[in-house]
A and B are shown apart, each in its own frame.
Chain A
Amino acid sequence: MRLLQPLRKTLPWSLAALCLLAAAAPRASGEEPPAEPAETRMASLERAQRERAAELAPAGPDKVEGVLERRIGDDPMNKYVGGVPGLHLRFGGLPSGAGFALGLEYKRPDLRDGMMMFRASAAASTNLWHGLEAELGFPRVGGRFLDANLVARRVDATSIDYFGPGEDSDEGDRCDFRSEENSFEGTLTFKPARRHLKVGLTAGYLLFNTGPGDEHGDEMERRFTPQQAPGVDHQTHYLKLGPFLDIDTRDKPDDPHKGTHLRLQFDRFDDRRRGGYSFGRIGGSLEHYAPFFNEKRVIALRAATELSYADEGDAVPFYLQPTLGGSSDLRGYARHRFRDDNMFVASAEYRWEVFTLLDAALFADAGKVFHRDRDFSFDKMEIDGGFGFRIKTRDAVVFRVDTAFSREGYGLWFAFSHVF
């Protein structure tokens, strides 16, 4: 401490003097020849290059990036859900009402240099439905204008709701049935204008079996007579044959923003087993998409109908009757809420983009079922309205949540596809 005493007195002055000297140094006045730095800019950069060259390390992505790239890849949907030849996960693929369905699919789109495609899948759902499917496809069997494919399918739906026939069915009559469907179908499609115009023919053999549903057992058979629910007592097999026409000017079929889509189809269902259930069916749907604000808003309109014409003395079996209610038509009503030989439904949506990956929508649905085509009128249409959100990729809606309200309550729907 004693040694520091002199410093204690002089240090402040010394510091101040040093600072003054530094500030008033001749270099600041510019009057003394400045000593140019010996090195040049180029030399300093070259030195930096040499120093870096001595410390090089292998280049590569960081650990997390590397691991994720190996495990997930740039296109996980293709890698895990079917774009690559081989075995994949399959999401969905069972009829509406199955719940969340998951399965495995083996797909080979590369056979004969891509001229032949084969896939086979098996899926099960949270509602214990299951399905098996195999497809053999011949894309471009006739050049770029002709496709052919054959599909074999089995679906076991353990519980499909049934509320009775017609528009006046009572929600309180809800019961259910089990449906087993085995089908073999072939389709030949002529595409004279790429995807914009398709004309084709479908032929197939369908085998049906129904039974007591998982939830309500044989209540349906006890409550509804074969006159009310044709085919409830015994099921049949069909030979199915019919042409279709598809005109499509939509920009993106899986997330359309503009254009029109018209589909007309006629199918002849020929009862090959019992002879009492033959009929023909005309199906038609028309969609139109009107964009505004640079396609960030879309008014989407749809009208669809299915009209059945049973042979003289025959009936359309209940399990092949058109239905309304559910995630893709009357969304404020229970799934398959209305069922009869004919149906008509119309929907309108106002969709707006929240951001690139999310759309929101306000919508309204109206529709009815009716027994004979001459019974159709716009009276007593069932209506609902609601809102929804859609998660989308560049070209497709991949997930949808819709909530709708009707006189019978509300529906909340989760789906892995667009409504229309």
Chain B
Amino acid sequence: MVRIQPRFLIPAATLLALLLAGRAPGRAGGQAPAFYPDDPIAAEPAPVAVGDIPEVEVYNLYDYLWQTARAATAVEAAPAKGVNTLGEVPDSAWFTNRHGRRRMTKEELRRGPGDGNAPLPPFLIVGAKTEGITPGFRMRDAKGRLFFVKPDPPGNPELISAADVLGSKFFHAIGYNTPENYIVRMRRPDWRIDPKARVSLPSNLSRRMSEKDMGEILDKAALLPDGSMRVIASLGIPGEGVGPFRYEGTRTDDPNDLFPHEDRRDLRGLYVFCAWLNHTDAKAANSYNAVVTEGGVRFVKHYLIDFGSAFGSDGDRAKDARFGHAYQIPVSAGPVLRQLGTLGMAPYDWEKARYPDPKTTGRIESAAFDPESWTPNYPNPAFRRRLPEDEYWAAKIVMAFTDEDIRALVETGRYSDPGVADRLTRVLAERRDKIGRAYFSKVLPLDNFAVRDGRLAFDDLAALHGFRPPREYQISWAAFDNRGGAATPFADAASFELPGRFAATPEGGYVAATIRAAAAGATDADAGQSVTVYLRKKGADAEVVGIERSFGRK
């Protein structure tokens, strides 16, 4: 038996601990380097070709109940995957950096996923769904293009069509794949029913469609004074539909689906976008996987679809005031006991909220909106695992939308009253600012790092957007071992100038700069918050290759 004497065990363990502590966070065991030569990557590699894969549906009711039942259990989330070394999401089949990376022009914002395929009459109705929450039908236009069509409800003549168009444009500008949605006015002579058209019934049954079915749809549609109806026509997504994606796990027959969905930053961060745009029905069933061929490769492309429950809309009516503020089924007893115990006499703020245009834009407002407590209709596993870094990534993109950008997008909803667009723009701008304030305070909101004139420069996003005055930061430097992960402090370097020892760093060597709020300007929220920026020597310059944010996990 070999025994290590205690007096030697302690220093040895301490040394080992110091070594481990010096590793870059998030690395596993040091087998892989922290940075590869091509980091940070802007896009994921080209996809590997998929074979024939089947359509796999999600059982909605099961998803609703299962996710609700699990929500009482706390989740312990690891840092997100599907990110580059700057913490950004590379372009992929899931997400394409658009307005957040490079400002889109107003025309690009308005165009969204496309505006060149507006349906042209005459329309041939090829199928319908008259039951369910939102009756609708499928039609082919004069060019044979397939559209999925839903009319606005009688009491809210612009509600759903605008929400669906705005949703597709906003989420596209953010970076997601969305369908081309068009607002169309259909007049009675414009359409006829295909003799082969079928009406979908529950349990996968169907029957032949008749004029009566169109009558039922018209009964539930807002008819304009000239007898026409305003509808949302969603262009069929190109490719072969293979069912929705889930917000957890991976699709086992897709070689490109490398990261569990609940850990993808683009799906965790989607929470923030959904909160901004009040997309309360962000669930698996409102997503879509299409097998497409691009660049000669067949691969699965992932879409968000159906924004009829975004903004103040809820599919066929104004949104329930509760939605966005509480799950449909509470996951704790507190809210239930409160409502019962007070006989409903202690209303929540959202119950007293006032809505600028409930008839046209439904129930969306900004005063009672709290980005931190916003909820979808039922728990979403990716949203539940979001961490402050995920929220920060998304908040940056939200903050990239100026008031003018928002207005340009809102105008694509073609509201008949221009005042409605003004008010919705204001509401979205105020919600945007609340998001910025909330998530720029959970991490140090320092970004746009670069080395200029021998100094590490950056923007303080909270100050840049006016959420608080500019303040001082303190910095410490260290040499960073890319292979072993050890960080060795430069004791004499405490300014934002590159330390003198950086000049001696060999080509391809790394240094790390850790920034914290200076004690004078720090608040309680800053405790435990820091940003570590990794620089790589490249000629006489340094390039920013990595960013890690510490947010003082609780």
Contact = CB atoms under 8 A, between A and B. Distances in A.
B and A form one assembly: yes
Interface of A: 1, 4, 7-8, 11-13, 15-16, 19-20, 22-23, 25, 27-37, 39-42, 44-46, 48-50, 52-53, 56-61, 64-66, 68-69, 72-76, 78-79, 83-85, 110, 113-115, 139-140, 143-144, 194, 293-297, 350, 352-358, 360, 362, 394
Given A28-B479, A74-B59, A19 B16 contact: yes
Main secondary structure on A side of the interface with B:
mixed
Interface string B229-245: 00000000000000000
Interface in B3-35: 3-5, 8-9, 11-12, 15-16, 18-19, 22, 32-33
Given A27-B481, A84-B203, A113-B212, A58 B253 contact: yes
Nearest to B323: A356
Interface string B478-494: 01111110111000000
Contacts of A45: 44-45, 258
A359 to B, nearest CB: 9
B121 interface: no
A342 B9 CA distance: 97
Contact of A19 (B19, B32, B343): B19
A22 B257 CA distance: 38
Contacts of A84: 201-203, 205
A314 B343 CA distance: 51
Interface stretch (B165-173, B402-410, B499-507, B523-531): B499-507
B478 to A, nearest CB: 9
A60 B56 contact: yes
29 contacts: A22-B19, A22-B484, A27-B483, A30-B488, A31-B506, A33-B507, A34-B509, A36-B482, A41-B85, A50-B48, A52-B256, A65-B62, A68-B62, A74-B202, A79-B203, A110-B207, A113-B207, A113-B213, A143-B215, A144-B215, A293-B352, A294-B363, A296-B344, A297-B344, A353-B322, A354-B340, A355-B326, A356-B329, A360-B339
Contacts of A297: 344, 347, 351
A58 B251 CA distance: 9
B418 interface: no
Contacts of A394: 133
B511 interface: yes
Contacts of A295: 320-321
A8 B256 CA distance: 52
A37 B37 contact: yes
Contacts of A41: 36, 38-39, 41, 84-85
Given A30-B481, A61-B58, A74-B60, 4 more contacts: A41-B36, A61-B57, A79-B203, A295-B320
Interface of B: 1-5, 8-9, 11-12, 15-16, 18-19, 22, 32-33, 36-39, 41, 44-45, 47-48, 53-54, 56-62, 66, 84-85, 131-133, 154, 199, 201-203, 205, 207-210, 212-213, 215, 218-219, 251-258, 320-322, 326, 328-330, 335-336, 339-340, 343-344, 347, 350-353, 363, 479-484, 486-488, 501, 504-511
A32 B321 contact: no
Given A13-B8, A355-B329, A114 B210 contact: yes
Contacts, number: 255
Contacts of A360: 339-340, 343-344
B44 A59 contact: no
B61 A85 contact: no
A296 B207 contact: no
Given A30-B511, A33-B507, A57 B47 contact: no
A272 to B, nearest CB: 37
Contacts of A22: 15, 19, 484
A46 B215 CA distance: 54
B61 A16 contact: no
A60 B57 CA distance: 8
A363 to B, nearest CB: 13
Contact of B343 (A73, A293, A352, A358): A352
Contacts of A59: 53-54, 56, 251-254
A238 B311 CA distance: 56
Contact of A30 (B209, B321, B506): B506
B481 A28 contact: yes
B27 to A, nearest CB: 13
B510 A34 contact: yes
Contact of B45 (A33, A46, A73): A46
